[in-house]
Structure 1
Amino acid sequence: MVRPLALALLAPAVAASVSNIHISQLGTTIAINLPPNNNDINFYMTAPTYYSWVAMGFGSQMANSLMLIAYPASDGKHVTVSPRLGTGDTEPQFDSNYHVRLNGNSTVYGSYIVASGTCVNCRSWAGGYLNSNTNSQPMMYALGPSTSSHIASNDQGVTIQKHTAYGRFLLSTIQATGYGGTGALTSIDNQVNTGTQPVNTYGANSPNGVIVGDSDSLGLAHGITMAVAALVLAPIDVILGGGRLLSSFPLIHAVCSLLYLLLLIAGLGTGIKASAEYVATQQFATAHQVLGFITFFVALLLLGLGIALHVGRALSSSGERGVVGLAHKWGIRFLWLLMLIDGGLGLQLAEASIGLIIGYIVFAGATFLAVVFVLACLWCIGSRRSRSRDGVRSAGIVDGGGVFRKSVNSRKTSGDSEPVIIPDNRHAR
């Protein structure tokens, strides 16, 4: 990738003790300088603004590592750098015990973000330390997703989305030790790499040591599964379960309900696994998660009511729905409403774009109105047929078996006139 000349002009080229690496595939450069006789780390990071954030980490894995994460400040021109500690396979958390001092070269310049400064007293942290006398200090880098809303914040504790690219490499802290400070780091774009190229520690999936396209697959699977359940199967199930004219097809309703439940189970499973990857969701206390559990338990309750309803119909000759039938019918509609609301809360929790959220609201609203219209039509048609049957039944005689008949023993004719139907009186003489 061609590096802009302006980056090299941010500061004069100064020979200094620098250890750096440039990942050409990602257009990203990382460098450090370790001033002698103190525990500070001078750092330099630059990456395309195509990525929402750029990070460098000290260590070979996120757990027990110190990471410096850079992203644009709220004005879109300056840069915020957040020192964070990694605790495992979740996003690292800001730690106010570590202080970052930025220099004037830290800026959003054209299509690149440049972060340069000093992490004060950062060579040791809870769970780890930087080896100042080695040619193979384990390091990490990561880049935030480009598809989500880009961060523009002065808050060092702002929530970040899962990285879309990452890798590991080695730096020589011996080479990096010496005077020069942060001013020397901004000239490293014109220097040959002094660090080891990305280390292939991820197996066959990273032949060049770089992982690209590492999206939140669990979260995406959860979202797609629940979207299909809420916007496709749920409306069909509501119509099949609530339409009087469709009650003669219980098998179709049962199959649809089974698929519906399987999707809910799959969505619950992927949602629980995805929640473990983020600190904010590990306690399962967000509105989306709480409503999701409620929705699932309501679905199980409706499943029980549906089984009881069908068993009751099989054992009863009347076929009446009764209280259980009404509870099942309105419960299905209530469940669908919960799912539509929870889908919106899920998009908000995932910090989806405004366009995606608006699109979901419009599509969900249109689907809801369409189902209401279909149910209203079915109700009108069913009521009309019911009134028609009641009118025919009231004009005749219903025998003990419920079969309509007219008396054939009471017909008298007079000439060519129509037969007159008179009440059946078996005792008449």
Structure 2
Amino acid sequence: MKSTSHSLLATALLSASLAVGDLLQICPSNGKGICYRVAVPTSSANAGSGNIYFQIRAPTSIQWVALGTGQAMSGSNIFLMYQDGTGNVTISPRLGQRYNMPQLDTSSTAASLTLLAGSGVSTDGATMTANVVCSNCQAWDGGEMVLSSTDAAWIAAWKEGPSIASADKAASIAQHDGHSQFNVDLTRAAINSDSDPFSTTRDAGGSGSDSDAGSGSGSGSGSGSGSGSGSGAGSGSGFSETTSMDKSAILAAHGIIMALVMAVLFPLGSLLMPLVGKWWLHGAWQAVAFVLMWAGFGVGIQIAQERDMMFRERHTILGTIVVVCLAIQPALGLLHHRHYVKTHGRGLISHVHIWWGRILMALGVINGGLGLVLARERDSLKVAYGVVAAITFLVYFLVKAYKTFAAIAQRRNSARKAVVAVSRLATRNVAPMRTFMAPTVSRRADFVQELYLKELKSFKPTVIKESDAVGQVATFAIPKAPKSPEEADLASSLSEYETMAVEVEGQEGAAAGQPAAVIEDWLVEDEDEEPHH
């Protein structure tokens, strides 16, 4: 009997050790030291309901950490742990929501959670642990989990930061920094006894206690946090991590890329044409920004799909519209360039390209602000984004306005110069009029007008005689070719000269009607008389 009793005791101890050693554990690859353990009693698996055990362990640098059952946050059954400020931890049953942070589940199907011994903050203050038993986690409002499943979907999330220090199960929390999704083979997590599987694995001081169903804080004592650690691996190969994402990194990448593209690169690229005048530099700059835009958009699509917010938020809807509309901007730019090369001016396609880009840039900046609101970023970051965007667009507006007014002034100046040049050219082509007027007075007239006036003056109508029948009949003759302006001017001048009265020396005493005395021509030289011999 004694040997038999010793044998039975040894067998029991061996079974207990195997149960503890076979507990499934996963430490997400991006979990910053966070680890989870799961155990399902055989009785619960066979019955399809009953107790399941899980452990959440994390550094105290983590503000809160959560474990949940379900494929995504929306509609999942979430178990949230954070410090209560007295050396214990609070465990809060919450229901995942689509657009808001998980809220305390107060429904009749809320998870009935009880903290076990060993829960709390370690004596060195470096680790916090929650050893939990859930009596009804096989079903909740929005889903269910088969306790004998070989591929049960679980999720995890966490947030770095200072301690929440609250025993309130409904305490508000900030959005997570990172998350992970994994599948669990619950048959590999089976334990023989429906009892605390973590009680034999305590290795560090801590405190914590049981609580009523649905609560997660209380008083009592216990020590330890589950042993074992790892990164990105699960013990017993019962876990398979499907998604591990660092929210802070990937969300920051999306925000930085899209803010840089919409608020800086696109506006500056647009200014290269009026400032530098090199179309190839403008095109190359905008092409780089175009590629970055699609990269940031791809990251945003991944985030939106993971959070099930694609086409459900103003940010995702407007962002998709802006990016899709910008897809045709390079083609519009090419058509504008070809038109300008042919005509050396802007056309309809040019204005479409310019204003299409301006409108979409403005919408992109607005959508960036909506993204910061959706991500619940701190106010200082929102202000910084607004200041950078405002400065960039102010510079853009000033440069565009300066170039526009400068172009208008240049066109006016060019038109004024053209008028002056035409006036000078017309002045050169006007023929000067011969006149006997004072030399200080000069007259110039348009060539055509002068010719018309001269022809009008030279026109003499046919004299009509009352007694002459011939004079009463109009006759037609081929008109003579008009004289050239020079000839007509010369003839007119000679006619005026002939009618002028000229006073000749020696005619003072000549009687009227008498011939004037002949005066010896004073131009003829006197001939010398020959001497008489």
Same fold (TM over 0.5): yes
Give the Cα separation in 2 of the matches to 1:254 and 1:198.
50
Partner of 1:98: 110
C-alpha displacement of 1:360: 0.9
Aligned to 2:390: 365
Q: Match for residue 259 of structure 1?
A: 288
Partner of 2:51: 40
1:119 is matched with 134
CA drift at 1:214: 3.5
Q: 1:67 to 1:424 in 2, by over 3 A?
A: same
Deviation at 1:122, TM superposition (A): 1.8
CA distance in 1, matches of 2:413, 2:364: 38
Q: Contact 1:288 / 1:349 at 8 angstroms: preserved in 2? A: yes
**TM-fit CA distance, 1:339:** 1.0
Structure 1 CA distance for aligned equivalents of residues 443 and 176 of structure 2: 83
Superposed CA offset, 1:223-266 (max 9, x none): 2321221132211133245x4x65x4322222233233222222
1:189 aligns with 2:223: yes
- Alignment match, 1:177: 195
1:309 equivalenced with 2:336 (yes/no): yes
Q: How does 1:150-229 map onto structure 2 within 5 Å?
A: 160-161=175-176, 163=178, 173-174=191-192, 177=195, 182-183=209-210, 189-190=223-224, 193=227, 197-198=229-230, 201=233, 214-215=246-247, 217-229=249-261
Deviation at 1:340, TM superposition (A): 0.6
**TM-aligned CA deviation for residue 288 of structure 1:** 0.8
Letter in 1 for 2:324: F
Describe the shift of the 1:168–1:151 C-alpha distance in structure 2 as closer, same or farther (beyond 3 A).
farther
Change in 2 beyond 3 A, CA 1:199/1:285 = closer
Match of 2:80 in 1: 69
Residues 372 and 333 of structure 1, relative CA distance in 2, 3 Å threshold: same
Q: CA RMSD in A?
A: 5.6
- 1:149 & 1:405 partners in 2: Cα distance? 88
Task: Deviation per CA, 1:182-237: give whole Å up to 9, x if none.
Answer: 549975534774xx65486489xxxxx9x998345543332232122113221113
Q: 1:292 aligns with which of 289, 294, 319?
A: 319
Q: Do the aligned partners of 1:59 and 1:137 also contact (CA within 8 Å) in 2?
A: no
TM-score w.r.t. the length of structure 2 is 0.54
The answer (yes or no) to whether the contact 2:58–2:65 under 8 Å persists in 1 is: yes
Residues 143 and 163 of structure 1 are in contact (CA less than 8 Å); yes or no, is this contact kept in structure 2? Answer: yes
Q: 1:237 to 1:423 in 2, by over 3 A?
A: farther
Kindly name which structure, 1 or 2, has the bigger radius of gyration based on alpha carbons.
Answer: 2
Work out whether residues 179 and 246 of structure 2, in 8 Å CA contact, stay in contact via their aligned partners in 1.
yes
Counterpart of 2:379?
A: 354
Residue 323, structure 1, aligned to residue 348, structure 2: yes
Structure 2 counterparts to residues 371-386 of structure 1, below 5 A = 371-386=396-411
Kept in 2: contact 1:58–1:67 (CA 8 A): yes
Task: Give structure 2 stretches of 5+ with no counterpart.
Answer: 1-15, 200-207, 212-218, 236-240, 433-441, 452-484, 487-533
Query: Normalization by structure 1: what TM-score?
Result: 0.64
- Quick one: which of 273, 277, 300 aligns to 1:271? 300
1:51 aligns with 2:66: no
Task: For 2:298 and 2:134, locate their aligned partners in 1 and report how far apart those are by CA, in whole Å.
Answer: 40
Pair 165,148 (structure 1): closer, same or farther in 2 beyond 3 Å = farther
CA gap 1:383/1:98 in 2 versus in 1, 3 angstroms? same
Q: Paired residue for 1:11? A: none
CA contact (8 A) 2:431 2:447 kept: no
Q: Equivalent residue for 1:342?
A: 367
Partners of 2:408 and 2:391 in 1: how far apart? 26
* CA distance 1:353–1:32, shift in 2 (3 Å): farther
Q: Which residue of 2 aligns with 1:415?
A: none
CA contact (8 A) 2:63 2:164 kept: yes
Deviation, structure 1 residue 348: 1.8
- AA matched with 1:222: H
In structure 2, the residue matched to 1:397 is: 422
Q: How big is each residue's C-alpha offset from its partner over 1:150-209, in whole Å with a ceiling of 9 and x where there is no partner?
A: 89996599784352689999867346626999549975534774xx65486489xxxxx9
Of the three residues 226, 232, 237, the one matched with 2:269 is: 237
What percent identity do the matched residue pairs reach? 23
Distance 1:48 1:191 in 2: 11
- Helix, strand or coil at the partner of 1:396: helix
CA distance in 2, matches of 1:148, 1:278: 25
Residues 1:145 and 2:159 aligned together: yes
Higher relative contact order (CA 8 A, sep 6+): 1
Distance (Å, rounded) in 1 between the aligned partners of 2:387 and 2:163: 20
After TM superposition, give the deviation of residue 342 of structure 1 in Å: 0.8
The yes-or-no answer on 1:26 pairing with 2:21 is no
* Contiguous gaps of at least 5 residues in structure 1: 1-15, 204-208, 399-403, 413-419
Name the SS of the counterpart of 2:178 in structure 1: coil
Q: Would the alpha carbon gap of residues 61 and 104 (structure 1) be closer, same or farther in structure 2, given more than 3 Å must change?
A: closer
Alignment-derived partner of residue 13 in structure 1: none
Conserved 8 A contact 2:365-2:389: yes
Distance 2:257 2:412 in 1: 42
